[in-house]
Structure 1
Amino acid sequence: MTECTNVERITCIVDEDKTHNGEPLYRAIVEKAQESGIAGATVTKGIMGFGAAKRLRRERPMGRSSDVPVTIQMIDEKEKLDTFSETLCDMIQQGIIVREPVAMCHIRCGDDIL
């Protein structure tokens, strides 16, 4: 059985090396999203990218600090994300935030949720 709901997704793109109160910014955002009751969040690391400054960013060899793009995606009802967007603006000094409507579908097969 599949149940779908119309929700929104926020996608934040920040540099991996950015921090907030001494911890990686992406971690601080996900932890704040969890505290705020956001339905779900996922972080993915890019291997290369560029933004408004057109500066190419990529992983650096030999374990040196990396400034590659990190994408944080969060999904929930529009109203909850409206409220959480204010928190994001306080945390992110520079980056990209994209909001888009999506269909969130829960798929249930028997008693297990996939």
Structure 2
Amino acid sequence: MTKLEGEQTLMRIFIGESDRWQRRPLYEALVELFRQEGFAGATVLKGAMGFGARSVTHSDKLLRLSNDLPVVIEVVERQEKIEALLPRLDAMIEGGMITLEKARVIRYRK
């Protein structure tokens, strides 16, 4: 089990719901990759509305169901572990954005 406390790195990956990696949803492939690599955890957040580099708005409020809503994957891990995985992420993500920032982790346990 990975113990994370103190200063860590928060990685956010911004992609679209319709993005794919080897015929499966990219966000699923990324979460599985993080699990296989022993990351402490990952969370996928589906946005209600957003736009990207092409300034096309995607919203769940349109009469038709949008099939490309914004998706954000959040991971908190040691910086070295994230940096080591960036080349693989670069190969998987064709369009989107990754942000990295310092995060102070306060872990609560039962």
TM-score of the pair, normalised by structure 2: 0.88
Q: Which runs of 5+ in 1 are unaligned?
A: none
Give, as a single letter, the amino acid of the residue that structure 1 aligns with 2:96. Answer: G
Report Cα offsets for 1:49-81 as digits up to 9, x if no partner: 00111111123556x561010000011000000
Q: Which runs of 4+ in 1 moved over 3 A?
A: none
* Offset at residue 40 of structure 1 (A): 1.3
Kept in 2, the 8 Å contact 1:17–1:65? The answer is no
* Offset at residue 4 of structure 1 (A): 3.6
C-alpha distance in structure 2 between counterparts of 1:100 and 1:15, whole Å: 21
Question: Does structure 1 residue 11 correspond to structure 2 residue 12?
Answer: yes
Structure with greater proportional strand content: 1
Kept in 1, the 8 Å contact 2:42–2:73? The answer is yes
Give runs of aligned pairs for residues 22-101 of structure 1, distance below 5 A. Answer: 22-59=23-60, 61=63, 64=65, 66-101=67-102
Which residue of structure 2 lines up, in the alignment, with residue 107 of structure 1? 108
Query: Does the residue aligned with 1:99 lie in a helix, a strand or coil?
Result: strand
The sequence identity of aligned pairs, in percent, is: 32
RMSD: 1.6
C-alpha distance in structure 1 between counterparts of 2:41 and 2:63, whole Å: 32
Higher radius of gyration, 1 or 2 = 1
Kept in 1, the 8 Å contact 2:20–2:26? The answer is yes
